[in-house]
Amino acid sequence: MADLPLAKIVYRSVAATGRATFERWLKDVDNVAPAEPRFSVLVGAPASRVGSPQGLALKEAYALARRHAPALVLGAIAIAERHTRRGDEHERMLSKAASGCCFFVTQAVYDAGSSKSLLSDYARAARARGLNPMPVVLTFSPCGSPRTLALLKWLGIAVPRWLENELLDARDTLDTSVRLAEEIAEDVLAFAHARHIPVGINVESVSIRKEEIDAATALFIALRERIRRAKPTT
């Protein structure tokens, strides 16, 4: 993607990466002097593999990044579903911010309530420590079929029962999904902006079907306009 004149966020798993390989990548990144900042989200092992001897722990990877590629802008994943289960995702976010992360990207948002709870807890905890919350990029993803819905749930994305029923009973699943995503986004964005929590949007398709990819593009355009209108004027 080097020839594409846009800022890019590169996701890199460190769970199966050795230290030497990761350091070489960081040095390659640092040796390039682009006109724009370079962004990367480092991803660790899933909970089931924590403690595995292979690869790097996230904290070690963050420390290596600060040492070998200090200009690299680091981001991290924030998972509202994990916050619902454990109640400590905001503490993970604070720890990652202390390790050098400057922004967070969520999983696809289908449950407005869990996302608002995470944003609220994170902002309150940050400000209690005299810190400003880092930007949180909210992810939205259209769903065009029961198969895509099953994939979203397999990925660990929480889909409320009522919303699942709406999608399964809809005449046009994809159109209904986009409409609901816009409603959920407006709810969460308004909540965040009213509390001065910096948020952005990311739209992606988990499906390779052209209809769902096209819907993701249309959803992004619609949400971009909503986030512009939702920004506070002062």
Q: What is the CATH number of the domain that holds 218?
A: 3.20.20.220
Q: Let me know if residue 18 belongs to a domain.
A: no
Q: Which two tokens stand for residue 172?
A: 């046009």
pLDDT of res. 185: 93
Residue 129 lies in a domain: yes
What are the residue ranges of helices labelled H in 44-199?
58-68, 80-86, 89-98, 112-128, 146-154, 161-169, 173-194
The model's pTM is 0.88
Q: What is the DSSP letter of 171?
A: S
For residue 106, give both structure tokens.
């969520």
pLDDT score at 33? 58
Starting at the earlier edge strand, list the strands of the sheet with 101-108.
Answer: 9-13, 39-43, 73-78, 101-108, 136-140, 199-203
- What is the structure's pLDDT at 53? 53
Domain that holds residue 125: 72-230
Q: How many domains does the chain have?
A: 1
CA dist 172 and 166 (Å) reads 10
Q: What is the pLDDT of residue 181?
A: 95
Taking residue 92's Cβ as centre, other Cβ atoms within 10 Å add up to 19
pLDDT given at position 47: 56
- Predicted pLDDT at 56: 85
Pairing assessment for the beta strands 136-140 and 199-203 based on DSSP bridges: parallel
Parallel, antiparallel, or unpaired: how do β-strands 101-108 and 136-140 relate? Answer: parallel
Q: What is the distance between the alpha carbons of residues 150 and 47, in angstroms, rounded to a whole number?
A: 21
Phi, psi of 139 (to 5 degrees): -95, 140
Print pLDDT tens along the chain (234 aa). 667 777 788 899 888 888 999 999 898 887 765 666 789 999 887 654 555 556 788 999 999 999 998 989 999 999 999 999 999 999 999 999 999 999 999 999 999 999 999 999 999 999 999 999 999 999 999 999 999 999 999 999 999 999 999 999 999 999 999 999 999 999 999 999 999 999 999 999 999 999 999 999 999 998 888 777 766 544
112 closest CA partner among 182, 178, 185, 204: 185
Tokens encoding 86: 């454990």
Helix, strand, coil content of the chain in percent (nearest 5) = 50, 15, 35
pLDDT score recorded for residue 233? 45
